[in-house]
Amino acid sequence: MEKLKWRYSNAVEWLHGPGEMRWRRTFSGKASQVSDARHFARAMFAGEICEDVVEFVVSELAANTLRHTCSADDGGWFGVELAYGDPVYVGITDNGGRGIPTVQQPDDNLESGRGLYAVSQLAIALGIHGSPVLGHTVWVDLDRHQSMETPAVLGISLAS
């Protein structure tokens, strides 16, 4: 039987090869895991213009899932899904409970409540699916060519 030969001429060709690259990972529902999720996201997008945006979005959404859902309860977890494409997809899945995630205008009198709004300002699109009983996935599409220094050109479009 003849060996199948395949080879990429360089790392860029391999990285941008056919098909979408997708990664999934679960994290225990502990606060320390937000940092691990952030490092995971940064590693998956290392060297890309958008790596800081992806890292920020994962950090904010992971922190929200621990703060506002049952993911932080005993035995809880959250999941991170990343897809390298244009747009980049980031999804954070929680264990549900405690309401439905909503984007709110920040209140200068409160110390918290700005995370999902900040994420929405970086996103091409943002959506939420699931339920308090089954769990939610909060997802965003991001411009692969956007860094934290280059503001989003497109306004957010909400989807569910």
pLDDT given at position 8? 60
User: Widest CA span of the chain, in angstroms?
Assistant: 71
Note if the pTM is more than 0.95.
no
Segment 107-114 long-range contacts (CB within 8 Å, at least 24 positions apart): 112/67
Number of Cβ within 10 Å of residue 16's Cβ equals 10
Mean pLDDT, residues 98-121 = 72
- Are 132 and 97 a contacting pair, CB within 8 Å? yes
For domain 20-159, the CATH superfamily is: Histidine kinase-like ATPase, C-terminal domain (3.30.565.10)
The predicted-structure confidence for 11-51, as pLDDT tens digits, reads as follows 666 666 666 789 999 999 999 999 999 999 999 999 999 99
Helices and strands per DSSP (H, E), number in the chain: 4, 6
Average pLDDT score over the chain: 83
Of 114, 34, 45, 132, nearest in space to 78 by CA: 34
Residue 128, pLDDT above cutoff 60: yes
